[in-house]
Amino acid sequence: IIDDYVAIFEDLSFENVAQVPNRLMRGFENHLVDVVEVAYGRFKNAGTQFSELDQFLPVPKPEKEDKSSTNADYIFEPDKETLLENLVPSILQTTFQKYLLDPHASEHGARMTAMDKATENANEMLNDLKISYNKARQEAITRELSEIVGGAAALGG
C-alpha cells in the first residue's frame, strides 16, 4: 500500500477528490504502474447497485466509433496535443469523482429504501395495534352491557 485515502468520503469536493487521480496519473506517467483499475459500486437507481471494474489508466480507447459523423477536417486551437494535455486530467478527475459519488448515492438509496420499509412496517404495526385496541374496547363494552342487562334482569325478576 503506497497511500490511503480512508477519510476522503468525509469531503467529496472536487478539489479534495482530485488529489487521488493526480497521484495515480503521476505514478502512471513515471512508469511506477502499468495499469490502474478501479472497483466500485455503480449506482443504477435507489433499489439497484452493482459492482463494476473500470480501467482508469491507460485511458481505454472507445469501443466503436460513431459512423454517422463526417470525416471533416478540423483545425484545433490550441493544437490537439495541448488540448489533450489540458483536458485529459480534468476528465480523469471527474471520472474518479464519479467512482466515489456512485457508492455514496447507492448508500443514500439503500437508506431511503430501508426507511421506506421501516415506515411501511410501522404503519402495519400501528394498524394491528388499532385493531387489537378496538377489539378489546368492544369486548369491554359488550361485557358491561351484559352485566347491566344481567343486573336489570335480576332486579326485575
Rounded-to-integer distance, Cα 8 and Cα 17, Å = 7
Query: Whole-structure pTM over 0.85, yes or no?
Result: no
Domains of the chain with CATH codes? 6-62+69-124 (3.40.1380.10)
Mind listing the pLDDT tens digit of every residue in the chain (157 residues)? 778 888 898 999 999 999 999 999 999 999 999 999 999 999 998 888 899 999 999 998 887 766 666 677 888 888 888 988 999 999 999 999 999 999 999 999 999 999 999 999 999 999 999 999 999 999 999 999 999 999 888 888 6
> Which H or E run includes 42?
strand 36-45
Q: Concatenate the DSSP letters of all residues of 60-83 into one string.
A: PPPSS--TTS-------SS-HHHH
Rounded-to-integer distance, Cα 97 and Cα 14, Å = 7
- Contact 11/97 with Cβ under 8 angstroms? no
